[in-house]
Structure formats: C-alpha cells, structure tokens
Structure 1
Amino acid sequence: MTLTAAPGTSLSHTPVTGGPSHRRGGRAALLRWCFVLPAVLYMLAFFGYPLVRNVVMSFQHYTPRTFFTGEAPFNGFDNWRKVFANPLFTDSLGHTLLFVLGSLLGQFALGLALAVFFSRRFRLAGPVRALLLLPWLVPMVVSAVVWRKLLDQDTGVVNTLLTNLHLIDSPVHWLSSPGVALTSAVLVNIWIGIPFNMVILYGGLQEIPRELYEAAALDGAGAWRTFRSVTLPMLRPVVTVVLVLGFMSTVKILDLILALTGGGPADSTQTLGTVTYQLSFQQLDFGQGAVVGNVLILVSAVFAVLYLRANRSDFGQEK
C-alpha cells in the first residue's frame, strides 16, 4: 500500500512549537526580566531623569521664579557661553585638576605603602589598622572643621608644633594664603582618603598567591624586584578600581572645600563642585549651574568608560 501526498502538502516533519520546553524558556526569561525591572526603574527614576533634566536646564533661563510660574524659556547656548567666558570657570577647572591629581597620588602612594606594611603579620597589626580607619569613618565636614582649627595661622597646633621644632620661623598661612590654601586642601583630602586606599589594596594583596613570592625568592629576586614583577602586576585590577573610584569621589568634592576654605582666599580653592554650588544656590542661576554640573558629569563619564575598558582588557588577559 502506497501513500500519496495531497497536492500542496509535504511529508517532511514539521517541528512542534509551544511545547513544555518552550514554555519553560519563556517563563525563565520573564522571571529574569522581573528581577531586572526594579533596577532599571530605579536607574531611570534616580539617574536617568535627573541627568536629562539637568541637560535641558542648561539650555533654559531657569530662575527661582520658574518654580512658581513654571516658565523657563530656552535661551540656546547663552548659559554655556557665559560659563566658558567666566574666568572663574577656567580657574576652577585647573584647581580641580590639581586637587584631583594631588589627592589621588598621595592617597594611593601612602595607602599602598600602609597596605604592604600591614600585609606582614605582627603583633597589634589589627588594632592599629582599625585606628587608621577613623579618618574615613568621620564625616567629611567634621574632619574639615577639625583641620581648620589645626591649621589656624595663630592658634593652630600645626604651626605651634613646627615652630617649637624650629622648622619654621613665622606662622604659615595655611588657609589664608592663595598660594598655600589649595595645597592644604589637598593634604587634608589625602589624610581622609588614605584608609579607603589602604583597605582595598590590602584586600588585593591578600589574594595574591604566596607561591609566587616563594618562587621569586628562589630565583633570587630582591624585595623591590618582587614588588615590581609580582605584586604590582597581580594588583593591577585592584589598582584600577581604587584609582577610578577615587577619581569619581574626589572630582565632585564640595563639603570639604566649603568647610575648610569656602572657596577662598581670592577663589584660590574654587573647584567645579564649588562653582556649581555658587552659581546654583548663591547666585540662583540654575541654568549656568547646570552647565558646570554637566561638565562634571562628562568628565566622570569619560573616566567611567576608561575604567570599563581597562577592566575588559584585564579580563581578556586572564582568559
């Protein structure tokens, strides 16, 4: 007996869709989206909307009256032209660069030195390491107020100590001299940021296999050669995280500068963060304040991209 296919039909097997496995895959995908959706909504509400609103505001004439009338006419690039033509913005950009670079270099160098020091086990290492965390735990405003008292040119402990040690002949105007105030702010920020660098780098050092150091010792490598050829390469991903996170937190510092110097003297410690605060909440020109805020966001985004690229290259090397 032979089977004859009807015209327009085929005897080939047609896969059946909508089976149990297909339904299970659909439910799994839906479940994954249910977990992701709250994070996406949170990012859109608390990051996406403020970012878009800030960009729009930078092209508007936004004043306190706008909050009552709702009228914020677009003025094109007027806000941007005024900000870029303001010498204070140019100066603050340079101050921000010096403040960030000085802070990152000091915090990282001292934090790495302390991390290496504490990686060698000795008595009372734990309590001493815990005490060094105090600058990181104290609110930044409190730290700034304390250091403002310590650096006072007349009654400060720092000048008194340096004078008694015959290191200086006359009091140093730490916070009232335009040539010294920014350096003082950098030193205070280094003191605050050392514990963060130490903790993260110390954790990275603990993850380096001891066998590598033993192999280096057998090959006759000294302490410096071992540090350069073993410790630093193995610590590279942690160093990347520390530097990028340090940059992201330092570039937008506001409370430390305001409590320590208030942006003075003679605007010598004005940074992008303080200029944003001054334009928005002192001069009440929210449009120009939004422009400086967008510059800060752009700088942070550039370093975020560099961070992701560095991490991707590290992961590629590991594979």
Structure 2
Amino acid sequence: MSTAADVGPRPARRRWSARALPYLILAPALVAELAVHIVPMLVGVFMSTLRLNQFSIRDWVNAPFVGLDNYVSVATLDSSVAAGLLRSFGVTVLFSVLAVLGEFLLGLAAAVALHRPFRGRAVLRTLFLVPFALPMFSSVITWMFMLQRDTGLVNTVLVDWLGLTDERPFWLVGQNSFVSLVVVAVWRTWPFAFLTITAGLQSIPTELYEAANVDGAGPWRRLFSITLPMLRPVNTVLLLVLFLWSFNDFNTPYLLFGQAAPAEAGLISLHIYQSSFVTWNFGLGSAMSVLMLLFLLVVTVGYLAVVNRRRDNG
C-alpha cells in the first residue's frame, strides 16, 4: 500500500524528465557538431597564429607563434598575397551571384511549370532531379570531357552540328573557363532550388489561384502577386543557402580544372587550398579561411537582419 510520501516526488520527477528530454535528444547532434565543425574551426584559428609550413608541420603544435602576422600579410594591399586573394575574392563574388541567380530562376521556372498536374509530370520531376542526385565526381568529370576543345560534345554541337562558330573555343582556359564554371555549377545545383520551391508551392492554397483566374489575372500577375509573396519565407532561406554553397564551392573548380585553375575561374576556396597544400603555407591558408568565415558570417547576419526588418515593416 503506497503512502503520500511515495506519491509526492513523482510529478516533480516527471517534470524534470520532460524538461531534460529535448536536451537529451539534441545531445548527439551537439556532440557531432562540436567534433566535426566547432573543434576543427578552433584548431584552424589557432593554426592561423603559427608559422606553419613544410618545416614545422611535423610538430605543428610547437610551431613558432607569430600572432597576427599572417593576417597582416593578407591585409597588406600592396603584397602579392593580398592581390591574389582579392582577385579570387572578386571572382568568387561574381560567380556566386551568377550561380545563385541561374539556380533560383531555373528552379522557380521549373517548379511553377510543373505545379499543375498533367500527364508525365512525375517523369519530368524525376529527370529534373538527376543532376542533383548524381555523384559530384562523376557529373563534373563528365562535363570536363564534354568541354574539351577537339573531342568534347559541346564544341561538336556548337561547331559541327549548329555551325554557330568556325573555330572551336577553349572552354577550360581563359575567359571561357569562368563561363564553364558557372554553367556546371548551375546545372549541378538548380534541382535543389526546384525541389525546395516545389515543396513551398504545395502550401499555397489553390483558392487564391482560382480567385485570380476569376478576376482575369494572367500568368505573370499570378506569379508576382501570389506565388512570389507566398514563397517569400522559403526563398529567403533558399537564397542564403545557395549563396553559401556557391561561395564555398571547392569540388566543382577542383574537378573541372585541377589544382592549377585559370585565374578567371580561381575561386577563393581553391586559392586557399593552393596556399595551404601546394605552397605548404598552412598558417597563411588558415588565416585566409578565418577571414572567409568572418565574411560569410557578416553576410549572413546582415542578410537576415535586412529580411527581418522588411518583414516587420511589411
């Protein structure tokens, strides 16, 4: 037979368990985040304060401490290090803007076009997701072969089949390398924008489109008056994610051009890789990585602040 003393603590114990349950569920993810991201990031910050090169990498913990000298080298505008970094930074910003614009517009157009049911819609949706589902290595390497000057499929179509030009362009060197990089990046990532926008379209009530049809609104009016305003929360996150992915993209230029990418397509991620693993200046490369992280943090915080201000004012 239970007493009042036995019954009393149970509600308190249950309340404590209810409060602790969310933290227990999040604990494995938090441990993984610390192990995979936070700890390596802190180690990278520490490495940026060392003179870490091929002579000291073996015992890198005891490498000479140089404080902010690596950051000074990067920030000195008249130095070759800063000039190369600024050039790659400009190329990366332009690449990110064009890639995000192309990925978003293609994803939006495809999602709107396939929003209404019709015969074969499921097949088209599946085909549109193929570039995103393919392994990065195989898809970019395929594009590398397609962009070859003499034997590539791109020049075969443009020159031999369509006759658009008499000469076979070099797509992997010079100015054309930047165009190739943008095209491959857009082709790789636009299905993600398509998938995200398609999911967002499912939450828009069909009654809004029916009422717009009754009022005589055309496709463009429905797009700008209903679709885009209703997709604003989804597009806010989507554009930020696409920009961060594009700015940090390393696999696409590395697989497309190798270690020695043309200057016109030298993204900052590849520039940091060359500074760290080709010239063996890991301290300088770590400083560049920290500055890149700070830039992306500023962009993210500023972007979210502007979006939230517009939402509050609207």
Question: With structure 2 as the length reference, what TM-score do the two structures score?
Answer: 0.87
Instruction: Name the CA distance, whole Å, in 1 between partners of 2:135 and 2:23.
Output: 38
Instruction: Name the CA distance, whole Å, in 1 between partners of 2:129 and 2:303.
Output: 26
Number of residue pairs aligned between Structure 1 and Structure 2:
300
**Preserved contact between residue 177 and residue 262 of structure 2 (Cα < 8 Å):** no
Structure-to-structure mapping, 1:148-227, within 5 angstroms: 148-163=144-159, 164-176=161-173, 178-227=174-223
Percent identity, aligned pairs only? 36
Instruction: Name the CA distance, whole Å, in 1 between partners of 2:38 and 2:89.
Output: 26
**Preserved contact between residue 149 and residue 168 of structure 2 (Cα < 8 Å):** yes
Instruction: Name the CA distance, whole Å, in 2 between partners of 1:306 and 1:130.
Output: 36
Instruction: Name the CA distance, whole Å, in 1 between partners of 2:133 and 2:84.
Output: 33
- SS of the residue corresponding to residue 180 of structure 1 reads helix
Instruction: Name the CA distance, whole Å, in 2 between partners of 1:102 and 1:162.
Output: 23
**Preserved contact between residue 140 and residue 252 of structure 2 (Cα < 8 Å):** yes
Instruction: Name the CA distance, whole Å, in 2 between partners of 1:71 and 1:180.
Output: 45
**Preserved contact between residue 179 and residue 268 of structure 1 (Cα < 8 Å):** yes
**Preserved contact between residue 57 and residue 63 of structure 2 (Cα < 8 Å):** no
- SS of the residue corresponding to residue 224 of structure 2 reads helix
Q: Which one-letter code corresponds to 2:64 in the other structure? A: P
Residue 250 (structure 2) pairs with residue 260 (structure 1) = no
Residue 32 (structure 2) pairs with residue 42 (structure 1) = yes
Task: Give the aligned partner of residue 4 of structure 2.
Answer: none
The verdict on how the C-alpha distance between 1:32 and 1:204 changes in structure 2, with shifts beyond 3 A counting, is closer
Task: Give the aligned partner of residue 64 of structure 2.
Answer: 73
Instruction: Name the CA distance, whole Å, in 2 between partners of 1:179 and 1:291.
Output: 29
Instruction: Name the CA distance, whole Å, in 2 between partners of 1:58 and 1:267.
Output: 25
Task: Give the aligned partner of residue 43 of structure 2.
Answer: 53
Which digits, 9 at most, give the CA deviation of each residue in 1:55-74, with x for residues without a partner? 12111112344443341222
The verdict on how the C-alpha distance between 1:66 and 1:169 changes in structure 2, with shifts beyond 3 A counting, is same
Q: Which one-letter code corresponds to 2:37 in the other structure? A: F
Instruction: Name the CA distance, whole Å, in 2 between partners of 1:155 and 1:31.
Output: 60
RMSD: 2.4
- SS of the residue corresponding to residue 221 of structure 1 reads coil
Considering fraction of residues, name the structure with more helix.
2
Q: Which one-letter code corresponds to 1:39 in the other structure? A: A
Task: Give the aligned partner of residue 10 of structure 1.
Answer: none
- SS of the residue corresponding to residue 122 of structure 2 reads helix
Unaligned runs of 5+ in 1: 1-17
Of the structure 1 ranges 24-33 and 202-211, higher mean CA displacement relative to structure 2 is found in: 24-33
Unaligned runs of 5+ in 2: 1-7
Instruction: Name the CA distance, whole Å, in 2 between partners of 1:310 and 1:126.
Output: 37
Of the structure 1 ranges 33-42 and 81-90, higher mean CA displacement relative to structure 2 is found in: 33-42
- Per the TM alignment, residue 284 of structure 1 is displaced from its structure 2 partner at its CA by 1.4
Instruction: Name the CA distance, whole Å, in 2 between partners of 1:49 and 1:300.
Output: 19
**Preserved contact between residue 275 and residue 292 of structure 1 (Cα < 8 Å):** no
Question: With structure 1 as the length reference, what TM-score do the two structures score?
Answer: 0.86
Residue 235 (structure 2) pairs with residue 244 (structure 1) = no
- Per the TM alignment, residue 120 of structure 1 is displaced from its structure 2 partner at its CA by 2.2
Task: Give the aligned partner of residue 98 of structure 1.
Answer: 94
- SS of the residue corresponding to residue 264 of structure 2 reads coil
Residue 274 (structure 2) pairs with residue 278 (structure 1) = yes
